[in-house]
Chains A and B, each alone.
Chain A
Amino acid sequence: MELRKGIAVSPGIAIARAMVIDSKDYRIPRRSIMASQRAGEIKRVRLAFADAIRELDQIQTAKRIEEGSIRDIFAVHMRFLRDKRFLKRVTDYIEKELVTAEYAVSAILREIASHFEKVDDVYISERAADIYDIERRLLTHLLGKVAEEVEHLREEVVIVAHDLAPTQTASFNKTFVKGFATERGGRTSHTAIIARSLGIPAVVALEDLMSCVTAQSTVIIDGNRGVVVIDPDEATLEEYRAHARRFTEFEHELDGFRDIPAVTRDGVPITLLGNVEFPDEAEVVLQKGGQGIGLYRTEFLYLYGGTEPTEDDHYHAYSEVARLMNGKPIVIRTMDLGADKVPHTNRHPQEANPVLGLRSIRYCLQNLPLFKTQLRAILRASTLGDVRVMFPLITTMQELRQAKMILRDVMEDLDEYGVPYNAQMPVGIMIETPSSALTAGLLATESDFFSIGTNDLIQYTLAVDRGNEHVSTMYSAAEPAVLYLIRSVIHDANKAGIGLSVCGEMASEPEFVMLLLGMGVRMLSMAPPLIPEVKKIVCSVTIEECNLLARKVATLDSQRQIKNLLRDAAGRILPVEY
């Protein structure tokens, strides 16, 4: 039994077999197998060799390799892959050492390469590169099969990896993937966000995890305490099963809130919405009793697939969500990526400071065809439900006006071709920078609604990178400066009579819910699994006491004092957590 400690980024407990996802970009760690798995691993190696040979054959035929030296290289690789003694060396290694196919391939090839590297002769030592190439090819086939397996899971697993890319997580089937554990990542990493959205436990930043997990390991992921247990003994397993039961009961209790309206004890209705990234999550929003989608992040369309999404790609995703939400409001946020993340652009600038650079709405306004494509799809989808559009990272009036001008131009284009859309589609903006927060009054005259993105607002206001472990403790929604800005935005929105929601993490943190209600917020949007808990808080408080709390907070001048006060207040409502 091995224990590893990391950062808990999504609560819950999962106990399942590990599905280990190696990456050919990282060193394959030595990983043991049981004697009973020998035959299986050897078979995998044979298959990988056969696949690699077939692949090389196809490439050779397809590209009609004629040039001498390239032909020679292919000949070398092919000869190696067909060399029975080579194959035997790898399978013997598995037999004797009881290690995984990936490790055996890697170990043997590296051993061979090292013989070459030792030779003085530069020509031979350079051939080591050919050996590494063969290693890569074989690993790709071995790992590729694993990737396929993930897409066709038929039993419950927890995913264990060095790191997970958005493209990988997009294919995870919630029914079978019960949790994640990665060596890299932090609270704001993609892994964390996806896990929270799907409501499955996850622990990241686990040092040295990959070398002690095997494909047959049972793994416990404790997303509450940030602990991962590999091959637990009976006692530990029992203990965790009991934890898991208690947690499930708690969740069921919360699920019971699904159909109960979110109304405070003194009768004030609060709208609870979900933040989503993938169409499937829309279902989770409804399951958890959400009344709509307060933030539909559209970035995955750009990250998954490797080419810029077409208008139909966008439309397909939006219409799917609209269908699932069946008339409940959906707020679609336009692309919020940095220039460096947009696929297939060669013309993006080298930026010393991309976070403060050409990203999000700024990028869109300098790449109108890309922006227009998304806007067209959103407008087309606006006939399918209560669809609204929201522009991120607005910092000036000018930006807002330009964005709206383009939206208008797109509407005119659609008119040209008789394509229907909702001409009254509400257009809102995210308030997530100090400049927009300070000029919210003016922006409110040209926006239909605001959504406060507290994550970025806190970062920009306090000039703190929450992912930087040296300063991340400074990042806090309880900082007086942040609360001051939020208060000011709420005031401006109310004065202009426009809708306001809070869609950052603050909206789902129990300590802050009462405060936000007391400051005047009536709409909160959060990761869907967190909706029941927030609803419980809403149903347990009166606006009167929230107002009192907010007034008290306004008199305090340190985030610590404020945090303590809020924690006490929340503790009285949700004793289980505290």
Chain B
Amino acid sequence: MSEPVAEIEVEIQNEEGLHLRPAVQFVDVASRFRSAITVSHGSVQADAKSVMEMTLLAAACGSRLKIRAVGPDASDAVAALGELVAKNFPPTSKPAEAKKEG
């Protein structure tokens, strides 16, 4: 059975773009899911669970990004990330969790 796929397009509203703190938040959220998640702009792609790739992508591409998840929790992943972007990366009150990456 092929794995579920979910995809959305988002526009980063954050005034400062996808800077390091939001990028880390993004990666933290993405890392909670089992699906493989990619973020892209045109042909440039990044693994949503890699802060290095995310910050390089953001640096290069600015604000219009496509988020695509492949895996059992694909739609949940995409929904969570979409919500994060829509809410404009609200700062969390507890320390960002440094979770192990998949």
Contact = CB atoms under 8 A, between A and B. Distances in A.
B3 interface: no
A80 B58 CA distance: 15
Q: Interface SS of chain A: helix, strand, loop or mixed?
A: helix
Interface string A56-98: 0000100001001001101110111011111001000000000
Contact of A79 (B16, B51, B91): B51
A115 interface: yes
A72 B16 contact: no
A119 interface: yes
A126 to B, nearest CB: 10
Nearest to A86: B52
A86 B55 CA distance: 12
| Chain B interface category by residue count | 20 to 34
B56 A112 contact: yes
B87 interface: no
Contacts of A130: 20
B7 interface: no
Contact of A127 (B19, B60, B95, B101): B19
B16 A75 contact: no
Contacts of A115: 56, 59-60
A65 to B, nearest CB: 7
Q: Interface SS of chain B: helix, strand, loop or mixed?
A: helix
Contacts of B52: 80, 83, 85-86, 89, 112
B73 interface: no
Given A115-B56, A119-B59, A130-B20, A75 B50 contact: no
Contacts of A75: 21, 24, 95-96, 98
Q: Report which residue of B19, B20, B91, B101 has the largest number of chain A beta carbons within 10 angstroms of its beta carbon.
A: B20
A79 B31 CA distance: 11
Contact of A85 (B17, B21, B47, B91): B47
A319 B31 CA distance: 61
Nearest to B91: A68
Given A75-B24, A85-B53, A123 B19 contact: yes
A83 B19 contact: no
A121 interface: yes
A89 B50 CA distance: 11
B19 to A, nearest CB: 6
Contacts of A118: 59
Interface of B: 16-17, 19-21, 24, 27-28, 47, 50-53, 55-56, 58-60, 91, 95-96, 98, 100-101
12 contacts: A76-B21, A79-B24, A79-B51, A80-B52, A82-B101, A83-B101, A86-B51, A86-B52, A112-B52, A124-B59, A127-B19, A127-B55
Given A116-B55, A123-B17, 18 more contacts: A74-B95, A75-B96, A79-B27, A79-B96, A82-B100, A82-B101, A83-B27, A83-B52, A84-B50, A84-B101, A85-B47, A86-B50, A86-B52, A115-B56, A121-B17, A123-B16, A123-B19, A124-B58
